[in-house]
Protein backbone atom coordinates (compact mmCIF):
# COMPACT_ATOMS: atom_id res chain seq x y z
CA UNK A 1 0.00 0.00 0.00
CA UNK A 2 1.19 3.49 -0.76
CA UNK A 3 -0.29 6.92 -0.19
CA UNK A 4 0.63 10.54 -0.78
CA UNK A 5 -1.21 11.52 2.40
CA UNK A 6 1.47 11.49 5.11
CA UNK A 7 1.37 14.14 7.78
CA UNK A 8 3.34 16.52 8.02
CA UNK A 9 5.50 16.14 4.92
CA UNK A 10 2.98 14.65 2.47
CA UNK A 11 5.75 12.64 0.89
CA UNK A 12 4.70 9.25 -0.41
CA UNK A 13 4.71 6.59 2.30
CA UNK A 14 4.57 2.87 1.55
CA UNK A 15 4.35 -0.41 3.43
CA UNK A 16 4.39 -3.91 2.06
CA UNK A 17 5.78 -7.40 2.09
CA UNK A 18 8.21 -7.09 -0.82
CA UNK A 19 10.24 -4.36 -2.45
CA UNK A 20 8.95 -4.85 -5.99
CA UNK A 21 5.29 -4.37 -5.01
CA UNK A 22 6.24 -1.44 -2.80
CA UNK A 23 8.11 0.21 -5.68
CA UNK A 24 5.21 -0.44 -8.05
CA UNK A 25 2.75 1.07 -5.55
CA UNK A 26 4.88 4.21 -5.18
CA UNK A 27 5.25 4.52 -8.96
CA UNK A 28 1.50 4.22 -9.41
CA UNK A 29 0.87 6.96 -6.82
CA UNK A 30 3.26 9.15 -8.83
CA UNK A 31 1.42 8.32 -12.07
CA UNK A 32 -1.87 9.32 -10.42
CA UNK A 33 -0.32 12.63 -9.27
CA UNK A 34 -1.13 11.52 -5.74
CA UNK A 35 -3.50 9.15 -4.07
CA UNK A 36 -3.84 5.77 -2.43
CA UNK A 37 -2.86 2.51 -4.12
CA UNK A 38 -3.22 -1.10 -2.97
CA UNK A 39 -1.21 -3.71 -4.86
CA UNK A 40 -1.42 -7.49 -4.78
CA UNK A 41 1.03 -9.63 -6.71
CA UNK A 42 2.37 -6.67 -8.65
CA UNK A 43 -1.07 -5.52 -9.80
CA UNK A 44 -3.06 -2.56 -8.58
CA UNK A 45 -6.27 -3.87 -7.00
CA UNK A 46 -7.57 -0.55 -5.65
CA UNK A 47 -6.85 3.12 -6.25
CA UNK A 48 -8.06 6.43 -4.90
CA UNK A 49 -6.70 9.20 -7.16
CA UNK A 50 -6.00 12.43 -5.26
CA UNK A 51 -4.63 14.76 -7.93
CA UNK A 52 -4.98 18.02 -5.97
CA UNK A 53 -1.71 18.29 -4.04
CA UNK A 54 -1.84 14.53 -3.51
CA UNK A 55 -4.42 14.90 -0.76
CA UNK A 56 -7.69 15.96 -2.42
CA UNK A 57 -9.92 14.98 -5.33
CA UNK A 58 -12.23 16.87 -7.66
CA UNK A 59 -14.50 13.82 -7.85
CA UNK A 60 -17.84 13.83 -5.99
CA UNK A 61 -17.79 12.59 -2.41
CA UNK A 62 -19.76 9.49 -3.36
CA UNK A 63 -17.10 8.46 -5.89
CA UNK A 64 -14.18 9.05 -3.53
CA UNK A 65 -15.97 7.27 -0.69
CA UNK A 66 -16.68 4.23 -2.88
CA UNK A 67 -13.03 4.10 -4.01
CA UNK A 68 -11.79 4.47 -0.43
CA UNK A 69 -14.10 1.76 0.91
CA UNK A 70 -12.97 -0.56 -1.90
CA UNK A 71 -9.31 0.17 -1.10
CA UNK A 72 -9.94 -0.57 2.59
CA UNK A 73 -11.68 -3.85 1.74
CA UNK A 74 -8.74 -4.89 -0.45
CA UNK A 75 -6.26 -3.95 2.30
CA UNK A 76 -8.18 -6.02 4.86
CA UNK A 77 -8.29 -8.94 2.42
CA UNK A 78 -4.49 -8.73 2.18
CA UNK A 79 -4.10 -9.05 5.95
CA UNK A 80 -4.49 -5.61 7.49
CA UNK A 81 -5.92 -6.09 10.98
CA UNK A 82 -9.64 -5.54 11.36
CA UNK A 83 -10.64 -2.60 13.51
CA UNK A 84 -8.04 -0.16 12.22
CA UNK A 85 -8.20 2.20 9.29
CA UNK A 86 -5.22 1.17 7.16
CA UNK A 87 -4.83 4.52 5.45
CA UNK A 88 -5.26 6.74 8.50
CA UNK A 89 -2.73 4.56 10.30
CA UNK A 90 -0.29 4.74 7.40
CA UNK A 91 -0.77 8.50 7.00
CA UNK A 92 0.03 9.20 10.64
CA UNK A 93 3.07 6.88 10.68
CA UNK A 94 4.95 9.80 9.14
CA UNK A 95 4.01 12.34 11.83
CA UNK A 96 7.16 12.45 13.98
CA UNK A 97 5.67 14.27 16.96
CA UNK A 98 3.42 11.47 18.25
CA UNK A 99 4.78 8.33 19.98
CA UNK A 100 6.23 5.74 19.41
CA UNK A 101 7.90 4.76 16.13
CA UNK A 102 7.48 6.98 13.07
CA UNK A 103 8.70 6.84 9.48
CA UNK A 104 10.53 9.99 8.38
CA UNK A 105 12.51 10.99 5.31
CA UNK A 106 15.64 10.10 7.30
CA UNK A 107 14.45 6.66 8.44
CA UNK A 108 12.51 5.09 11.31
CA UNK A 109 12.46 7.43 14.32
CA UNK A 110 11.85 6.41 17.94
CA UNK A 111 9.93 9.41 19.27
CA UNK A 112 10.10 8.24 22.90
CA UNK A 113 13.91 8.02 22.87
CA UNK A 114 14.48 10.78 20.29
CA UNK A 115 16.73 8.61 18.14
CA UNK A 116 16.72 6.91 14.76
CA UNK A 117 16.39 3.14 14.81
Residue 107's Cβ-side half-sphere holds a number of Cα atoms within 13 Å equal to 6
Q: What are phi and psi of 67, to 5 degrees?
A: -65, -40
Q: What is the pLDDT of residues 51-87, one digit of tens each?
A: 999 999 999 999 999 999 999 999 999 999 999 999 9
Domain assignment present for 34 = yes
| Residue 53 domain boundaries | 2-84
Q: Assign 115 to helix, strand or coil.
A: strand
pTM (2 d.p.): 0.88
> Strand 2-3 vs strand 13-14: parallel, antiparallel, or unpaired?
antiparallel
CB atoms inside a 10 Å sphere around CB 107:
9
Q: Assign 22 to helix, strand or coil.
A: helix
Closest CA to 10 of 94, 100, 85: 94
**Among residues of the chain, what percentage have pLDDT more than 90?**
74
**Among residues of the chain, what percentage have pLDDT more than 70?**
100
- Structural domain count, the chain: 1
Domain assignment present for 98 = no
Q: What is the pLDDT of residues 84-107, one digit of tens each?
A: 999 999 998 888 888 888 888 888
Domain assignment present for 102 = no
Domain assignment present for 106 = no
Amino acid sequence: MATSISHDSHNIIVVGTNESDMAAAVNRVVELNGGIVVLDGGKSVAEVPLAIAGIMSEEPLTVVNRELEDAKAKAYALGVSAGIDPFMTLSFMALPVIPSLRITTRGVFDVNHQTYV
